[in-house]
Structure 1
């Protein structure tokens, strides 16, 4: 019996599930070695994160299109972070670090 090929979305969600599981397990072990996360918790976190990624990617595409560009750039990411000072600071720091490494 041949198996159906998985869609890109299914493969991405499986990879996200794996990553979320590894992160949750690492945090659980760090906090208390006897604590273990239930698969339903990891599934819930994965679904929540996938929904957020979908929203963020749509927002970034919209910002880019509104600016008349077909490529998402740093300005779009900064616009996305406009209401989150902590995120804005991290993005600025990363962008500055990237610019410095490009100028070498």
Structure 2
């Protein structure tokens, strides 16, 4: 299972490096892609452990958006992006609830 995750990360990092290489007219060696993949995987492991600990500290068994925001607090651009996406999700959820109310109101 872990090897499949590592392979998936490596594949995606390779795809991203290829996009950057085409866009910036540069090349990435296989060793560079492997190093970026390994660093990315290790950082994701750290993020997962941190998220788990944030939820546990709050006496919850489920990681929620507040935990993710707390994780992103050291990167202002990432925190801003996550907050923006969270607001979009809240608005989408409200719109869906309104549509359901209207549908259920018209069927009665």
Classify the TM-score, shorter chain.
0.7 to 0.9
Asked if residue 9 in structure 1 is aligned to residue 2 in structure 2, the reply is: yes
Q: TM-score if structure 2 supplies the norm length? A: 0.84
What's the counterpart of residue 47 of structure 2?
56
Moved over 4 A (4+): none
What's the counterpart of residue 47 of structure 1?
38
Give the paired residue count. Answer: 95
The separation in 2 between residues aligned to 1:49 and 1:82, in whole angstroms, is 18
CA apart distance, 1:79: 1.1
Unaligned runs of 5+ in 1: 1-7
Q: CA RMSD in A?
A: 0.9
**Rg larger in 1 or in 2?**
2
Unaligned runs of 5+ in 2: 96-108
Alignment of 1:1-104 (within 5 A): 8-32=1-25, 35-104=26-95
